[in-house]
Structure 1
Amino acid sequence: MEKDTYNTLAAPGEETLFKEKGSKFFGYAFPVADETEVKTLLADIKKQHPQARHWCYAFQLGTEPNIYYRANDDGEPSNTAGIPIYGQIQSLGVTNVLVVSVRYFGGVKLGVGGLISAYRLSAQLALEASEIIEKTINVHYTLKFGYQDMNRVMRVIKEKNLEVVSQKMEMDCEIVVATRKKNAPAVLEAFESLYTISVK
């Protein structure tokens, strides 16, 4: 059966600090909904750490089969920062998440292997400092109907325990409801049996 849940972060985690040969790695993990949020958070972190040398990160958005991710080494040798950070996101099986590791150079080069393990550890600490929660993958339906059907629609919403995402009451009514993926076919059927209602 197809999964209809995913794991993500309940809230931004606490700042973590990992030190290696004088270099400092500040780690952060955030729940994110889209790339705009990623950009805003990265800009905030750069303001918090204007003296840092590198702001490396990875993020993942979406659930199977529509996963989108990006990993950024921000000037570190190729694949020594972003990919190890992304590896930690994958190993914890979380999505809709951004992990950033901010490096202050301590004067000693860590080498490729040292960098990979430092960024991996920094990401791991950041994720471990965050609470991971399970969320359901929801399907949204837009219901359009006349006022005469209001009671019938509301009865289904109540019976099926649906979340009302938004509603517009003008000449006709429009309500957007959400249900977890595995319940979606039954919900669709319940509304479609009320033939005067359009469901999208």
Structure 2
Amino acid sequence: MNIKRSVFIGHAAHCESEEKAKEFIREISRRFKDATHNCWAYKVNMNGVEKFNFSDAGEPHGSAGRPIFSAIESLNMTNIVVVVTRYFGGIKLGVRGLIDAYNSTARKTLEMGQKGKYCPGKRFSIEIDYSMWNTFIGKFAQGKDFNIVDVEYGTSVRATLTCKSENFKALADFFVERRIPIEELGRVVFVERL
């Protein structure tokens, strides 16, 4: 977003903890270390306790971090971190102009992002023939029952999938009944696309 020659760039990510939010903030700040400012806000729910924080990162007090946090709040989002990077263009915007610029950049960033419901899940891999893969795809809904992390089409289909913990038994049963080996790869956060 360009406002009076200043460039505002929004970045957002899902995060399950304050530490993950801070890692993302550090990553964006390193990537855009030549920027004038990397202002941020996050809101996470950790074991039923809501935690949030924000920073103006050198902008006038209350002109950046709080407006970014307001965008998160206005969209009723949780477990999210937003960093707005600013390259100063030589024209001062004033506090009101900064508030509007940071808020609208954060809001547009969040509105443009892929939304999802995050649930505890499992990650697993399979190798399956094409006809059985088509049966699987026809029986279960991608994005709801499972997600494809990686798929390789060769003489057979090799896929790494994720699913909600509650769906794992039904998916595993499908493969076990057909004598298809399934390799559990651990726990993950499953994203159900909205």
TM-score category of the 2 structures, normalised to the smaller one: 0.5 to 0.7
Query: Does residue 98 in structure 1 map to residue 81 in structure 2?
Result: yes
Contact 1:73 1:80 in 2 (8 A): yes
Q: Number of paired residues?
A: 127
Bigger CA radius of gyration: 1
Q: 1:81 matched to which residue of 2?
A: 64
Flag the 1:118–1:97 CA change in 2: closer, same or farther, 3 A. Answer: same
Describe the SS at the equivalent of 1:95.
coil
The code of the aligned residue for 1:86 comes to F
Q: 1:115 matched to which residue of 2?
A: 98
The code of the aligned residue for 2:37 comes to H
49, 52, 58: which one aligns with 1:66: 49
The code of the aligned residue for 2:20 comes to E
| CA displacement 1:39-62 (0-9 Å, x = unmatched) | 221221122212101110000000
TM-score of the superposition, structure 1-length normalised? 0.58
Segments ≥4 residues shifted beyond 6 Å: none
CA distance in 2, matches of 1:93, 1:64: 18
How large is the RMSD of aligned CA atoms in angstroms? 2.5
Q: 1:25 matched to which residue of 2?
A: 8
The code of the aligned residue for 2:102 comes to Y
The code of the aligned residue for 1:100 comes to V
Flag the 1:64–1:109 CA change in 2: closer, same or farther, 3 A. Answer: farther
Structure 2 runs not aligned, ≥5 long: 121-165, 170-194
TM-score of the superposition, structure 2-length normalised? 0.59
Percentage of matched positions with identical amino acids: 35
Query: Does residue 43 in structure 1 map to residue 26 in structure 2?
Result: yes
Q: CA deviation at 1:64?
A: 9.5
